[in-house]
A = this chain, B = another copy of it.
């Protein structure tokens, strides 16, 4: 395979905390990192170089891409034109198709459904007038979500009755949207799958995810799924990855249900990147999601996804991070702070990993 040797330059589109942790993982492997972002961000501190430029400045992006050996991205809302400009010069991993799918909820849901994988029932909404019929079809309550640029619960509105259509559509900014039918579930999990350039793949133990105010709060392993359900979840994620000819870490969020025997797992959404629900892998696994993403995009052999410890990751949101001293004093807590100056409400400032000895002898996805 064409593995990039140590000293090669990984180009990362985006300079947030995911870029920061990717940059540190690359550095551990002796790889250099260059960040392209439209504003100064936490990744700049740990990258060999960075360029500040608009994501629609294709000339600047091309000039930057010429200086790196491979391009990846840390957020799925990189404008497609920017990614394509980079991809015309250097390998883009994961490829532009993954971005295209992940950027638009309608495309994403259709794509996954067409693979025969369960998703929540949905309908395209172009105006408030589309909502009553869709609500009729999908049942109530339902959630209206913008097709683009929603994250952490933003760009979403719940509604139960047809006379709420106007209000809900206004709430999401009157943007093209989808209406999603209600899915009853017992919990939320995510598959963190890594697929190499050589098409080998592996997945981390599937964590149990809890949200607060629409933002991930905790992820912990072992999670709630049986071995059989875990295998099914991984098979779904793999199907998606293969259909996208994916290289890197792919996160697939799912709802799971004890009682629904026909569809115990329903895919909620995918993220074509390292994912917040995989931050526990940094400390509970010999090789975490960040290193495995870098290994994949650099064409290196992917590393083991086994873990040596049970773990709970807690996000530090906004003022949570003010308690850094208490957290640092708590025995066995591993504190990660992203170097952001301003602790705005809802802003991800860091996370804390708590490790415990393995509750069974060995991580269940250990291969040998």
Q: Is A32 an interface residue (CB 8 A)?
A: yes
**Shortest distance between the CB of A300 and any CB in chain B (Å):** 5
The proximity string for A residues 350-366 relative to B, scoring 1 for CB distances below 8 Å and 0 otherwise, is 10000101000010000
Contact B341 A328 (CB under 8 A): no
Copies of this chain present: 2
A3 / chain B contacts, CB cutoff of 8 Å: 325
Asked whether A328 and B301 contact (CB < 8 A) given A335-B29, A337-B30, A341-B7, the answer is yes
Q: Which residues of B contact A324 (CB under 8 A)?
A: 5-6, 30
Contacts of A295 in B (CB 8 A): 328
* Count of chain A residues with a beta carbon within 8 Å of a chain B beta carbon: 51
Q: A32 to B7, Cβ gap below 8 A?
A: no
With A308-B355, A332-B306 as contacts: A301 and B325 at CB distance below 8 Å: yes
Stretch at the interface among A20-28, A54-62, A93-101: A20-28
Residues of B close to A303: CB separation below 8 A: 328
In the bound complex, what is the Cα–Cα distance between A32 and B46 (angstroms)?
9
Q: Cβ of A337: which chain B residues have Cβ within 8 Å of it?
A: 6, 28-30
Contacts of A304 in B (CB 8 A): 331-332
CA distance A44 to B29 in the complex (A): 15
Complex formed: what's the CA distance from A301 to B331 in Å? 10
Which residues of the partner chain B approach A44 to less than 8 Å between Cβ atoms?
48
Q: A48 contacts which chain B residues (CB < 8 A)?
A: 44-46
A64 at the binding interface (Cβ < 8 Å): no
Contact of A368 among B325, B331, B335, B367 (CB under 8 A): B331
A44 and B299 CA atoms in complex are apart in Å by 25
Q: Which of B23, B321, B329, B334 contacts A6 (CB 8 A)?
A: B321
Task: Please indicate the chain B residues that have their CB under 8 angstroms from the CB of A350 in the complex.
Answer: 30
- Residues of B within 8 Å of A329, CB to CB, are 301
Whether A283 is near chain B, meaning CB under 8 Å from some CB there, is yes
Q: How far is the CA of A28 from the CA of B339 in the complex (A)?
A: 8
Q: Does A338 contact B (CB under 8 A)?
A: yes
Which residues in B have their C-beta under 8 angstroms from that of A331? Answer: 304, 367-368
Q: Does A309 sit within 8 A of B, measured CB to CB? A: yes
> Is A215 engaged at the interface, CB distance under 8 Å to the other chain?
no
Query: Which of A294-350 touch B at CB < 8 Å?
Result: 295, 300-301, 303-304, 306, 308-309, 321, 324-325, 328-329, 331-332, 334-341, 350
A108 to B48: give the CA distance in the assembly, Å. Answer: 38
Chain B residues near A335 (CB, 8 Å)? Answer: 28-29
Q: Is A286 an interface residue (CB 8 A)?
A: yes
Most chain B beta carbons < 10 A, residue from A30, A328, A337:
A30
- A287 at interface, CB cutoff 8 A: yes
Report which A residues bind B (CB closer than 8 A).
3, 5-7, 20, 23-24, 27-33, 44-48, 283, 286-287, 295, 300-301, 303-304, 306, 308-309, 321, 324-325, 328-329, 331-332, 334-341, 350, 355, 357, 362, 367-368
Which 3 pairs show the lowest CB-CB distances between chains A and B?
A30-B337, A301-B329, A45-B48
